[in-house]
Structure formats: C-alpha cells, structure tokens
Structure 1
Amino acid sequence: MTRKIWLFDTTLRDGEQVPGAKLNIYEKLEVAHQLKKLQVDIIEAGFPASSEGDFQSVKQVATQIGNTSDIMITALARAVKGDIDAVYNAVKYAENPMIHMVLGTSDIHVEKKFSKSKDQILQIGIDAVKYAKTLMPQVQYSTEDASRSDFDYLWSTIEAVIKAGATMINVPDTVGWAVPEQFGELVYKLNDRIKNMNPDVLLSVHCHNDLGMATANTLQAIKNGADKVECTINGIGERAGNAALEEVVMALSTRGDYYDAHTTINKKEIMNTSKIVSSLMGLDVQVNKAITGDNAFAHSSGIHQDGLLKSRDAYEIIHPTEIGLDDMELVLTARSGRHAVRNAIQNLTIDITDEQFEAVFKDFLDLADAKKEVYDHDLFILVDNYLHRNNEASSFMQQAESFYVLDDLQVISNPIFPSATVQVSKGDQVRKASTVGTGPIDALYTALNEVVDLDFDVMEYKISSVTRGKEALGKVKIQVKYEGKTYIAKATHTDVIRASAEAYLNAVNTILVEQIVPSTIF
C-alpha cells in the first residue's frame, strides 16, 4: 500500500494574496465548495486577523464547508494571542478545525524582521503553541523561511513546539530559495528526527516558485518523507506563486512507481476547479502550463499528431479524461501533417480519394496560413469548394451550406448607444441584423444571435494580445453552453471586434458539425 499524502490547499489564503485576486465572501464559498468536491484534506480559508471581512469569510467556510468531518478547515495566525483568537473564533464552527500559526526561524527573520534574539523567538513560538493547544487539539506550526534557517536552530524550534503540543510541523521555502536536492536532504533529516520523537506528528512543506522549482521541491520533499504538502490551484500565490496542486497530484498519480505515494484527490474535478479559480480571481492560466493550461493536451505538430494517431502513448502520458477534460485536442494548423488532416476529414464521414485529398490539403495549408487554426466546418467547405471548382459531383453541398460565414460588420462604441450591424452568409442566404447592447461586444453578439438558428449562452469571453506592434494580432476565446454541453471556440485577427465575431461563429459552426456528423464518431 502506498503512502497517503495530505493535500493542504491554501488558494483562499496564499493564493488570495495575489494583487487583484481578492474574493468576496460568496466567491470564497464557491471556491471552497469546489475544493471540497476536489476532496482536498485541508482548506486554509484565509487570515482572519487581517480584516473583519476575511474573518467572516473564514467563519462561513468553516460553517458551510467544514460541516463534515472528512475535511479540515484552518486559517493563518501570527504567533500572537490576538491572531490565534481570531483563527479560533472563525474556524471553531467546523467539525474538524485547526489553528495554523507561523513564525520565522531564519537569521534574516529573527534578527532583521523581529529584532529579537533566537531564544526570544523560540519562547514566543512555544508560548503561542501552548496557548493554541488550550483552544483546539489540532495545531500546525510553520517555521517561516525554514530553507534559509540554521539547521540546529530550526530543529530546536521544531522539537520545542512539538513538546508544547504542535500536531503538524510545516517547513516553508518561503522565498523559493531551495533547490530540490538540498531541500530533500533537509526534509529527510527533519522527518527522521520527528518520527523518532513523535510518529503521530505530520511533517509538511510549503514551497514557493521564485526560481521555478516549487513543484520539484514539493515532490522531492514527498520522496524524502513529507506527509503533507501545501499547494494552490493553478500555482497562484505571492510573487511567482506556490507549488501547483494539480501538478503535484498528477505527478504522484503518473509516477507512482517512483514516489510510492498517493493522494485522495478527485482528479476528475481538477479542470473544473482550475476554471472556477481562474474565473473568480481574474487570473488567466498560462496556455502552456502543465495539466491545466489550454494547450496541455492540444497537439498541433504534424509529427506529434501522426504519432498520437498511431499510438496515444507516443506523446501522451496523462489521459485528458483523468482530470475532467473530454479528450485530447488535435489542433489543425499549418504545422499539421497529412495524417492528421486526413484523419479529421474521415472523422467527418467525408469520403474523398487520395488524389482529391492532396488537392484539398494544399487548399488547407493556404487557409491555415491565413486563419491560424482550421475548424471542422472549414474542412466541409474546403472539400465542397474543391469539388465545385473541378466540376465534380458533390454530396457535401447541403452540409457545406449549413455553416455561417461572416461577410461584414460594423460596430459603434459609445457610452450612450453601443450598436452593431452584421451580415452573415449561410449558403445562398444572406442574413443581416442591427442591434444595440450594453457595450460593443454585447451589441455584436446580440446581432449575431438574431441571424443564426441556434440560441446558446455565452459563458466566458476572453481577449488577449498574441503579438505586439501596430498590426498586433488579438485572440478571442469564448465558451458557450448549448443544450447542457460546453463548447470553446477561438479566432485571431488584427481587428479584435472581427475576431470576436469569428469566434462566435466558430462556436456556432462547431455545434452544427455535431448535428451533421453521426454522434457515434465523437
């Protein structure tokens, strides 16, 4: 049986310290509910002494989320009575509460931050733990800046607070200074001493990502005996962030042969949790970020696509469904090879000869150079255009004419009367609409909604810059919901308003493809 690693999620405390990421009480509760679905072991809900609002948020998380014994609720305190009282009064409503306190142990913190002697700081820690222990049985003590601390003093602190009643010891790499080999050695030495002293005390780590090694340091700590790790969703947190929970979980899951450890995280909720945190905090996930980035399971290289179509394990070590995604995504771009494009056309039940395919593939490359990313509905149109151009019988005319093409648009943006006019073609039909809205994009999408035959909800709209300069490319991504299913579509253009319209129609056309093509192939 592999060793269980406790997952301590500090998204609502350390993660919320990111500038601009502050959540209100309702948003905190939504994230906390999702963390419970994710099945983290401990939620650190905030820093109650920092404000009345944060105190009330922690209290509500303890009351509503911590109402079962399968999850522990905690919050952060400095090693002072007022902070400890604030944590106690906020988390005491949970079935399984804990007080978490922090005090520095490095020379920099002791001498420069506190301007006290090591003996004085040690006694403050002992007294704080003893006091907290009178309030609650579960007390975690964090030795801030442990990775830069003198080992003998660090150990004397840990030994003393365990004797005072601490049930969990957390060893933070507060400024991301540690490197995996040294941090692993530190954890190994501490774990050996702690387990010989009191095997019931859990050893924890909290790693920051200033040098990009937070996840590596966390995993090395697990390998060397750490029982518990502190992480955040998407790796958010102070400065460069913390160890990303999803990366740690999937590393243990995928390389269980090496780490001989596991978590009880519900992996299928990873993507949902990532999206909720990203949306509520307004923090975009880096597109190529491990596990939760948009491109983590997207493949556009022709060599990779060819290998994946032959054997998924050629370039895929995690199945997307493990973390709650539908499947891998083969993105058709100018870098896609013949095999990937041919496979996509066959999946659409379009039957063309090898000779016809070569001509269509040439057209595909021209389109991909201009459009950046080619969708399934584009393939219908490419094949139909080729057959018409060569006066060959086309059985795809009806399908190709089922899709919408943006002909023209005009959007007027002003604070009084934002309006939009669009012209869209569907086969031989030309459809026009003019509408107003609360803003330019709302007016545009309202107009497009009038000319298409589908009615869906836009769940998310996101715009970002792809390149710099006068002719910069803007990328628009939208997420829509139609009949209970979610669709994501993108478009890129130097005119972001046009990119917004094309992304909308790409979503519409993606839904239409599924209506045309037998569902059994998806």
Structure 2
Amino acid sequence: MMLKDPSTKYRPFVAVDLPDRQWPSQRIETPPQWCSVDLRDGNQALIDPMDQERKQRFFDLLVKIGFKQIEVGFPSASQTDFDFVRSLIEEDKVPDDVTIQVLTQARPHLIERTFESLKGAKNAIVHVYNATDPVFRRVVFNVDKPQCIQIAVDATTQIRDLMKAAPETNWTFQYSPELFTTTEMDFAVEIVNAVRETFGASADNKMIVNLPATVECATPNNYADQIEWFCRNVEHRDHLIVSVHPHNDRGTGVAAAELTVMAGADRVEGTLFGNGERTGNVDIVTLAMNLYTQGVHPGLDFSNITPIMREVEHCNQLPVHPRHPYVGDLVFTAFSGSHQDAIKKGMALRKEDPDSVWAVPYLPIDPLDVGRSYEAVIRVNSQSGKGGVSYLLEQEHGIELPRRLSMEFSLVVQEVADRVGKEITSAMIYQTFVDEYLAKTEPYSLVSHRLSSEPDSPTVTLEACIAKDGERHTISGEGNGPLAAFVKALRSEGHDIEIIDYHEHSRGQGADAEAIAYVEVRVKGEAVFGVGTDESITSASIKGVMSAINRCLSTEEVAPNVTADSVA
C-alpha cells in the first residue's frame, strides 16, 4: 500500500552543484557514436533469451541498419554467448568495419574466458565493469573505496596485458563504473583516473569510459549535470571516449540520453525500441529519429521501419507497442476529426510544394521517410470528422468533395460509425458514398440527352429522355449551358429547382478517366447535394442533379449498406 508520506521512506536525489552548467544551450548537430547492446543487455531481459539463430538474425539486422559497434554477448557468463561469439569470428560473419563488444565482470577467470571467446577477432571492445555505488560497495561487495579502485585497476592490468599478447586484433578497452549516477561524483572521477592511467590511454589510443544510469533515479537534467561535471573534472579528457548507457526506470531514458550528449557524451549504448531490464534501456530508434526531425542524419538507416520492427519482434518474442514513437502501427494515424482536418490541409499544401520544408500538422516526420505509406495516416471511427472522410475518398478513390458536401457526407458516415461501433474502413466509406449519392436512381433516371445550338448563339438547347418510375418521357429546355438548359427543362415540368453550387473534376487517367460532378441544388426550398459520374461531363452533371432530386424526394430512410458484420 502506498504511504501517505513517502518522504519517510524515500529521499529526493541530491543534485550536482553546477551553477554554471553549459549544456542547456547546446544543440546536437552531429550524431553520437552508437553501440547496440540488444544482443547482451537486451537479451538478458528476455523471458526467452535468443538462441543462435535469432541472435544471428538480430546481428545481421544491426549491421544492415548501420551499427559499427555491437555488443554481442557476455561470453564468460553464458555458453550460448561464448559459442555465438566464436561463430561470428570463425565463420567470418563480422564485416571489417564493424567492432564487436563483449562484457565481463572484473574477475580474473572471467576475463580469461572472455579473451578466449575473442581469439582471432579483427576488431573488438572488451568492456569490464565493477559497481562503484556506495550501497553496492557496502551491501553487495563489502569493500571500501580503495578496495573498489583496486578491483578496477587489477582487471585493467590483466586486460591490458592480454591485449598486448594478441596484437592481431584491433583492441579497444572500455570501463564502466557501474551505477555511475548513484556514485559520489568525486569517487567516480577518482576511479576512472586510476583505470585510465593503468591502461595507458592516450589521444592516439583512447579508451571508452562508459557512465551508466544503471538504475534511473533522478530527472534527466541531473544525468546531464553529472556528465558535464565529469567531463570538466576528469584528467586527460582527450584520452577518453565518454559513453552513456541510460536505463528507463523513470520513463525518461530518451531525454536523459539527449541531454547527456548535449553535456559532452560522445557515445550512446542502447537497444532498438528500448528493450532491457525493468522498464528498459534507452531506445536508439527514438533517439535517432529525434535527430532526424532536427535535420541531422543519425548515421543509422531506418528507411524501412516496419520490416525492422517485425524482425525485432520475432527475435525478442516481444511486441512493439502500437503507439511506440516513429515505429508503432498507429503513430502516424489520426482518428480525431480536428487532427484529420489539420493533416488534410497540411498535405494539400505539401502537394503544391513537395520540395518545401516539412510542415504538416501532427506529423513530426514524413511517413514515407521510414517506409510508411499515407494510406494509414487518417482512419475513421466515431471520433472522426469531415477531414478524415474526405481525405480517404480523395487519396484512395479520387473523389474530391466540396467543403459543404464533405460536411454533409461526414454526418452520414458518423451515423454508420456510431452504429457499428468500430473503425470504418476506406472501402466502407466509399460504399456508403455510392449508396448515398451515386446509387440514387429512383424515381428519376437519365436515359439519354442531345445538345444543339445555333451558330454564334450563347444559348444551347438540351433535349433529355428521362425515366420516372420506369416510364420514359422527353423534356427540353434552353440555357447558357447544358446544366442551365436541363434545369429550365425540369422547371417546365413543374419542378421547383435551382442550382446553388457546382463542382466537377476528372477521376482516373487515360481511357479509364471519367467525369464526376457535385451539384448542390435547392429543391422545394431545401438545399441538397447530388453526385453523378459519366464519361461525359454533361451526362455526369445531369445525373448529379437527378441524384439530388431523388435524395430529396425519397420518403424512406434507406440506411447505407454497411453493417457491423462487414467491419470484420
């Protein structure tokens, strides 16, 4: 049960004393070095850890995306990891420009085993760690500060000597003071200085110092302060590649990583989609795409994000949330009417100037950039409005509704959505449109028509054969155009009708093109829309008028031909 006063049990994190912090005014203009830890840190967090086949598939995916540093396992702790590292090396599956990384605890026999797994590697990072946090020093390992430093120095000495004994490999050394963010800052600097000096790092032979938020326990700005403070106070900063390894216990891992890069970190370790222990590691996909939205290419290729997501889901046996940033199945989808209307207007302007800077409301990036189509950008349910309905008709069926008709038809679709209680598909919307407008052929329908005019006369004569309840008769009228002449003919037959508004456009291309006409008429004092289609624009216009009359004269409420069963 939650405490009424949690301060009796928990304490706020003590902030770093850094009144002249510089990182808030920095901007990330180049991507950090990326290291995927999916195959080690991410794998350890799986209910069902990856087997060799899934690990190889994941490794190949990471290479394809563009990762140059990949942590492939913990070979001293797992035979599966050991065998996987050996298979990568012995079967020559690591590209020459990719460096594999392995993790080991700071224990002599585990370090020995680690180097056995790496024998013959072209490029390798040996990543050693020991816990430096005061709680771990006291509770877990029962060591004081000098003893903690000695553990790190001894492991570094052993690793340095083993690297020298295998010059055929291009080695990089990485040290992590585990639980860096809860370690006293001066002690973190002290132990890293000792490790750096022992290893003999230099500007030409840099070592990686990885500063993990092993458990995220403060706001992300604190992590940034710690990194800036560390970079200012550590000796020989130019001999180090400063790396961060954020976890996500507070849900701010992505923000923490971005702020630490602003604060001076050179490198980020994380996983695709944030899989990791507890609430996860930092999500590299989100980090990379955040950079992309600011005009900075991340150096990783997510041009076809859906297959990447599906492959990771297969390898991890974990689903990616449909609202996951940039990736989830619904992240580029709008159901809300106001959102849909704004997106529709933005996309229309984009169509006029496709080379302009991206500025479409509610869409931080162009879905096409990550291999997503526009088909799922707008989907319709009971929360949707006219913008979404008209967008889908235009994008997928070539029907460009005038504004007032869009408003009228959206109410029809809304009734369907309320009735079925589920998402309304594009096909259902189109069928509803057909039923409501194009299929309204009773009681009046057009059989044929003939136009004639005198030379140099602005007036045309239209003679039309129409059927009423199946019985044909001919009407005629004159006007300054075919539609005006048809209305005159209808008036001569006693119909009280006038044209309020008219729009037309072609639908389709080439031999398959047809005209579509939207006619708003006033019949018996009531404004109503009709729609007609035909190869002839004149015929389409006349059919549009008759559609409007039929809709107005219809005395039965004919529900659109869409049911809850058709949703499934």
Global fold match (TM > 0.5): yes
Partner in structure 1 of residue 172 of structure 2: 138
* Residue 226 of structure 2 is aligned to residue 192 of structure 1: no
* Residue 260 of structure 2 is aligned to residue 221 of structure 1: yes
Contact 2:304 2:372 in 1 (8 A): no
SS in 2 for 1:299: coil
Distance 1:102 1:372 in 2: 53
Contact 1:75 1:98 in 2 (8 A): yes
SS in 2 for 1:102: strand
Of 136, 142, 163, the match for 1:109:
136
Distance 2:331 2:277 in 1: 24
Partner in structure 2 of residue 381 of structure 1: 431
- Which residues in structure 2 correspond to 1:362-377 (within 5 Å)? 362-369=411-418, 370-377=420-427
* Residue 295 of structure 2 is aligned to residue 253 of structure 1: no
Distance 1:39 1:46 in 2: 19
- Which residues in structure 2 correspond to 1:45-194 (within 5 Å)? 45-63=72-90, 67-136=94-163, 137-165=171-199, 167-194=207-234
Distance 1:502 1:130 in 2: 70
- The one-letter amino acid paired with 2:414 is L
SS in 2 for 1:374: coil
Partner in structure 2 of residue 305 of structure 1: 340
Distance 1:236 1:65 in 2: 28
Contact 1:68 1:96 in 2 (8 A): no
Deviation of 1:365 after TM superposition, in Å, equals 1.4
Distance 1:334 1:90 in 2: 58
Deviation of 1:29 after TM superposition, in Å, equals 0.4
Deviation of 1:229 after TM superposition, in Å, equals 0.5
Deviation of 1:82 after TM superposition, in Å, equals 2.4
User: Structure 2 vs 1, CA of residues 130 and 198 (structure 1 numbering), >3 Å: closer, same or farther?
Assistant: farther
Q: For residues 46-92 of structure 1, what are the alpha-carbon distances to aligned partners after superposition, in whole Å with 9 as ceiling and x for unaligned? A: 21122211211233344557532321101111011222223322234
User: Structure 2 vs 1, CA of residues 33 and 101 (structure 1 numbering), >3 Å: closer, same or farther?
Assistant: same
- The one-letter amino acid paired with 2:343 is L
User: Structure 2 vs 1, CA of residues 357 and 269 (structure 1 numbering), >3 Å: closer, same or farther?
Assistant: closer
Contact 1:168 1:203 in 2 (8 A): yes
- The one-letter amino acid paired with 1:120 is Q
User: Structure 2 vs 1, CA of residues 262 and 131 (structure 1 numbering), >3 Å: closer, same or farther?
Assistant: farther
SS in 1 for 2:250: coil
* Residue 66 of structure 2 is aligned to residue 39 of structure 1: yes
Distance 1:187 1:90 in 2: 33
Of 232, 242, 246, the match for 1:207:
246
Partner in structure 2 of residue 291 of structure 1: 326
Identity over aligned pairs, percent = 26
User: Structure 2 vs 1, CA of residues 44 and 352 (structure 1 numbering), >3 Å: closer, same or farther?
Assistant: closer
Decide which moves more: 29-38 or 349-358. Answer: 349-358
User: Structure 2 vs 1, CA of residues 384 and 281 (structure 1 numbering), >3 Å: closer, same or farther?
Assistant: same
Q: Which of 1 and 2 has greater Rg?
A: 2
SS in 2 for 1:176: coil
Point out where structure 2 has 5 or more consecutive residues left out of the alignment. Answer: 1-27, 164-170, 202-206, 347-358, 447-563
Contact 1:301 1:336 in 2 (8 A): yes
Q: For residues 325-345 of structure 1, what are the alpha-carbon distances to aligned partners after superposition, in whole Å with 9 as ceiling and x for unaligned? A: 234611122222212212221
Partner in structure 1 of residue 469 of structure 2: none
- The one-letter amino acid paired with 1:227 is D
Deviation of 1:188 after TM superposition, in Å, equals 0.8
Deviation of 1:216 after TM superposition, in Å, equals 0.9
Distance 2:188 2:96 in 1: 33
Distance 1:346 1:297 in 2: 18
Distance 1:222 1:267 in 2: 21
Distance 1:262 1:84 in 2: 37
User: Structure 2 vs 1, CA of residues 251 and 361 (structure 1 numbering), >3 Å: closer, same or farther?
Assistant: closer
* Residue 394 of structure 2 is aligned to residue 346 of structure 1: yes
User: Structure 2 vs 1, CA of residues 358 and 320 (structure 1 numbering), >3 Å: closer, same or farther?
Assistant: closer
Distance 2:124 2:434 in 1: 64
SS in 2 for 1:116: coil
Contact 1:5 1:262 in 2 (8 A): no
Decide which moves more: 126-135 or 27-36. Answer: 126-135
SS in 2 for 1:140: strand
User: Structure 2 vs 1, CA of residues 128 and 18 (structure 1 numbering), >3 Å: closer, same or farther?
Assistant: same
Contact 1:42 1:74 in 2 (8 A): yes
Deviation of 1:14 after TM superposition, in Å, equals 1.2
- The one-letter amino acid paired with 2:135 is I
Distance 1:200 1:144 in 2: 20
RMSD, aligned α-carbons: 2.7
Point out where structure 1 has 5 or more consecutive residues left out of the alignment. Answer: 396-498, 506-522
Contact 1:204 1:226 in 2 (8 A): yes
Distance 1:179 1:6 in 2: 23
Distance 1:147 1:352 in 2: 58
Deviation of 1:32 after TM superposition, in Å, equals 0.6
SS in 1 for 2:210: strand
Contact 2:382 2:421 in 1 (8 A): no
Decide which moves more: 221-230 or 285-294. Answer: 285-294
Contact 2:335 2:388 in 1 (8 A): no
TM-score (norm. length: structure 2): 0.65
Distance 2:217 2:445 in 1: 65
Q: For residues 350-377 of structure 1, what are the alpha-carbon distances to aligned partners after superposition, in whole Å with 9 as ceiling and x for unaligned? A: 4777776556433311232324212121
Distance 1:32 1:359 in 2: 54
TM-score (norm. length: structure 1): 0.70
Deviation of 1:267 after TM superposition, in Å, equals 3.0
Contact 2:42 2:271 in 1 (8 A): yes
- Which residues in structure 2 correspond to 1:436-447 (within 5 Å)? none
SS in 1 for 2:303: helix
Partner in structure 1 of residue 373 of structure 2: 326
Distance 1:341 1:235 in 2: 35
